[in-house]
Amino acid sequence: MRFLTFSLLMMLGAVAPAVAQTERTPDVETPGSWQGGHWRDPELGRAIFEGYADHAFLWLRGESGKVVRFDRTDGTRTVVAESVLDLMPDGTRLWVLTSGAGHEAGIRDLRNEQSEPGRFYARETPMISLFATGQDRPGVLTGAAAYRPTERGWDRRELAATLAAGEVVSDGQTSLYLGLNRGEFGGGLRRVDLDTGTISIVSAQGDGLCGGALSPACQPVVGLFPAPDRAGCVFVGTGLSHLGSSMGHVYRVCGDGISSEFNTPTPTLPDRWMLMPSPWPLDDLVPIRDGWVATSRGRFFRSRDGRVEELALKPFHDWSGLRISEEQDGVLFVVGSCCWGVADNPTLFRALPIPVLD
C-alpha cells in the first residue's frame, strides 16, 4: 500500500528514476495529459500509487482514489473501484478495501468478477490496510485495532498505541509489520503483535543519528513483503535522496533479527542530482517470482538466487494513456508521476515497478 500524496511525491522527486523533458500543455485533456506542466490522468489523477498485473489485466491505483483495470490485449480501461483505501495481492486474489458511509468499508476480490462485496464495520477510523490471514478473507488494520476474520464475524484486538498509515504485511504467524515512509523525515519499521496488541520499533543501533539499520529518523520504508524462503521473515527496502546525498538498503527481518541483504553501489561519477558520489537511492521494492526488483534513477536492481544485478530501464512507450515499458523479469514499469522543474529544464519521473502475478 502506498500512502504518498502527490505533493510528497514532488518533494521526493529526487528519488524518481527516469529522466525526460516536459511537453507543452495540450488544449484538451486526454489520458496521461499535461495540465499546468504536470501529468494528469482523468481517472487516476496526478499520480499512480501502486499496481499489479496478471497475464490478462493491469490494475492501477491512483491519487484519485480509483482503481483502473487495463486489458493488456487492447488497452481498454475500466474503473473497477472507487474511494479505495488499499489494494493487496493474496495468492490468486487481489483484494481491494473501499470506504463507505460512517465506519463501514467494502472488501472484494478484483480478480474474480463474481466476487460479492463483503461489508466491514470498525469502531474507529481511519482504516489503514488489509493484511493476509491465510483464510478466505483478509484482516483489516486501523489506527487503533487489528481485526481478524472468524466464522462469526471479526475478532478485534485493540492496539497499545495509535498507528500512522503505512505499508503493512503479515509475517504469516502472529505479527504484522508496518513500514512508514515520511520522506526526508525517515519512517522505519513497526511490529504489531496480533495476540497482545503491543507495538515495537524494529531497528538496530549504530553510530550517530542515522547509524544502524532501519533508523526511524533516517530510513523511509519504500517496500515490504514476506520472505518466501523463510517463514516469519520479511524483506524491507529503504531509500532516501536528500540535499544531494542518497542511499538504498534491503534488509531481511526475522522477529527482532535484522540482516543486510543488499546496499546500493556508489556510481563512479555522480549523476546531476548528487552533490558528490553517493549510493543510489531506492524508490520501490517489489517481489518477483524468484527474488525481488528495486528501482532507482534510470535503473533497477534485480535479485535472483542471492545475486543482484544492476540493469537499465527499458524505453517507455505510450499505451492507453500511460507511459509503460515492456514486461521484463515478471515486472512491468509504468511512469507514475511527474515532474520536477520546468519545461526548459530536465525533469524527473517516478517509474513504478508492477509485479505480474501468477
Q: Tell me which DSSP letter residue 14 carries.
A: G
Give 263-282 pLDDT, tens digit per residue: 999 988 777 778 788 899 99
The HSE-up count of residue 142 (CA atoms within 13 Å, CB side) is 21
- Would residue 195 count as lying in a domain? yes
Residues 110 and 100: their CA atoms lie apart, in Å, by 17
Burial class (CB in 10 A: 0-12, 13-18, 19+), 94: buried
pLDDT band of 305, cuts 50, 70, 90: confident
pLDDT higher at 18 or 199: 199
pLDDT at 32: 53
pLDDT at 186: 87
pLDDT higher at 355 or 26: 355
| Residue 356 three-state SS | strand
- Would residue 256 count as lying in a domain? yes
pLDDT at 173: 85
Q: Is pLDDT above 60 for 34? A: no
Percent of the chain with pLDDT over 90: 57
pLDDT higher at 79 or 2: 79
pTM recorded for the entire structure:
0.86
- Would residue 247 count as lying in a domain? yes
pLDDT band of 5, cuts 50, 70, 90: very low
- Would residue 50 count as lying in a domain? no
**What average pLDDT does the chain have?**
84
Give 74-90 pLDDT, tens digit per residue: 999 999 999 999 999 99
Give 159-176 pLDDT, tens digit per residue: 999 998 899 999 988 999
Burial class (CB in 10 A: 0-12, 13-18, 19+), 141: buried
Total domains present in the chain: 1
Residues 264 and 321: their CA atoms lie apart, in Å, by 33
- Would residue 104 count as lying in a domain? no
- Would residue 296 count as lying in a domain? yes
pLDDT at 83: 95
Domain hosting residue 300, numbered range? 14-38+128-355
Give 84-119 pLDDT, tens digit per residue: 999 999 999 999 999 988 788 999 999 998 877 788
Most confident residue range from 52-66, 159-173, 315-329? 52-66
Please name which of 290, 291, 300 lies closest in space to residue 333, comparing C-alpha atoms. Answer: 300
Q: Which CATH number goes with the domain that contains 150?
A: 2.130.10
pLDDT higher at 288 or 32: 288
pLDDT at 269: 79
Residues 213 and 231: their CA atoms lie apart, in Å, by 21
- Would residue 278 count as lying in a domain? yes
- Would residue 58 count as lying in a domain? no
pLDDT at 356: 95
Give 210-225 pLDDT, tens digit per residue: 778 999 988 999 999 9
- Across 26-54, average pLDDT: 69
- Across 290-316, average pLDDT: 91
pLDDT band of 348, cuts 50, 70, 90: low
